[in-house]
């Protein structure tokens, strides 16, 4: 399979940047998944949710590969080290995020996760080269997003909050996984990247559950079958959109587009969890959405 080189970045690019736009859509899907995870965490542990999530998403992720094989174009892995790094860092991020879901409001957790684009913006040029250096407008968007996060999160955070620390760890590991995705976007087919991640999560999550509980996960109650199926579906759709986004554009603007997700988290908290936003939430949310639009909409 020929190398999947990123398209040239030029002034002729359309007004809507495809990579950040796809990441904004992925953020919407992941926000829906986070809401379902919060529902499931009332009964299941983080390791159990990852197990059932993976078992649902693996068959879905295999369908594009079957279609490619039918056309005689089955992709082969090219960058094994980046695939492994993406799997391990992504798994560590999920453990942190799913654990934090038990003790944090959806909007609060979503906004703590927004430290991730800042880490990506610093790490990507250091690891991948100067061509990944963010544009000035991207840095403005990142700083605006961080300001919005401070307005939304800091008034409600308690010193030493363990749930917040889990969420922060998940964000840092997620940043590493996103940089690995950018690397893979240059070499490996998106369908293969998504499937390898979903398939690799199955043994890792089973081992984690065995280490934590000493046995295999029990069948969840029928009331959770729908949410768990939704988590698996959202995982497949979100990973597909995100993987393609990092293939189309530099890491920093793609990661910054995830700043659009707090709006959906706030709406979910309001509609599902009946949380009432204060003025800092409304102002901070507006700043974050503006930051996301700054990278999605290109001049």
Contact 16, 298 (CB under 8 A): yes
Mean pLDDT over 82-100 rounds to 92
Mean pLDDT of 211-222: 85
Residues 6+ apart with CB under 8 A from 163: 99, 100, 102, 103, 104, 109
Contact of 102 with 86, CB cutoff 8 Å: no
What CA–CA distance (Å, rounded) separates 158 from 117?
23
Say what angle helices 190-213 and 225-248 make with each other, to 10 degrees.
140
Please determine, for residue 231, whether its predicted confidence score (pLDDT) is greater than 90. yes
| Whether the predicted model's global pTM rises above the 0.85 cut | no
pLDDT band at 157 (very low <50, low <70, confident <90, very high): low
Q: How confident is the model at residue 5 (pLDDT cuts 50, 70, 90)?
A: very low
Q: What is the mean pLDDT of residues 93-106?
A: 82
If one compares 38 and 208, the residue with the highest pLDDT of the two is 208
**Mind listing the pLDDT tens digit for each residue in 259-272?**
777 666 667 667 76
Pick the residue with more confidence: 263 or 71? 71
Domain edges within the chain: 18-296
Q: How many CB atoms lie within 10 A of CB 192?
A: 22
Q: Which of 190, 186, 182 is nearest to 127 (CA)?
A: 182
CB 194 within 8 A of CB 242: no
């Amino acid at each position: 399979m020929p190398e999947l080189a990123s398209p040239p970045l030029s002034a002729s690019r359309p007004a809507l940047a495809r990579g950040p736009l796809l990441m904004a859509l992925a953020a919407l899907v992941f926000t829906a998944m986070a809401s379902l995870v919060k529902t499931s965490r009332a009964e299941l542990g983080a390791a159990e949710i990852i197990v059932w999530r993976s078992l649902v998403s693996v068959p879905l992720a295999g369908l594009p590969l079957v279609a490619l094989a039918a056309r005689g174009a089955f992709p082969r892995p090219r960058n094994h080290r980046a695939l492994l790094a993406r799997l391990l860092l992504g798994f560590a991020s999920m453990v942190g995020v799913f654990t934090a879901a038990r003790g944090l409001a959806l909007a609060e957790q979503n906004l703590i996760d927004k430290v991730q684009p800042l880490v990506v913006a610093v790490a990507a040029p250091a690891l991948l080269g100067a061509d990944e250096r963010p544009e000035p407008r991207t840095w403005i968007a990142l700083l605006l997003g961080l300001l919005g996060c401070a307005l939304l999160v800091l008034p409600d955070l308690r010193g030493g909050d363990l749930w917040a620390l889990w969420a922060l760890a998940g964000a840092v590991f997620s940043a590493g996984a996103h940089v690995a995705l950018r690397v893979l976007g240059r070499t490996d087919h998106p369908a293969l990247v998504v499937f390898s991640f979903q398939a690799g999560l199955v043994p890792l999550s089973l081992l984690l559950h065995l280490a934590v509980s000493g046995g295999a996960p029990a069948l969840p109650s029928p009331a959770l079958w729908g949410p768990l199926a939704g988590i698996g579906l959202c995982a497949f759709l979100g990973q597909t959109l995100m993987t393609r986004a990092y293939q189309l554009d530099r890491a920093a603007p793609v990661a910054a587009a995830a700043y659009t997700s707090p709006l959906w988290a706030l709406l979910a908290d309001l509609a599902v969890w009946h949380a009432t936003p204060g003025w800092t939430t409304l102002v901070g949310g507006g700043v974050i959405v503006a930051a996301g639009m700054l990278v999605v909409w290109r001049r």
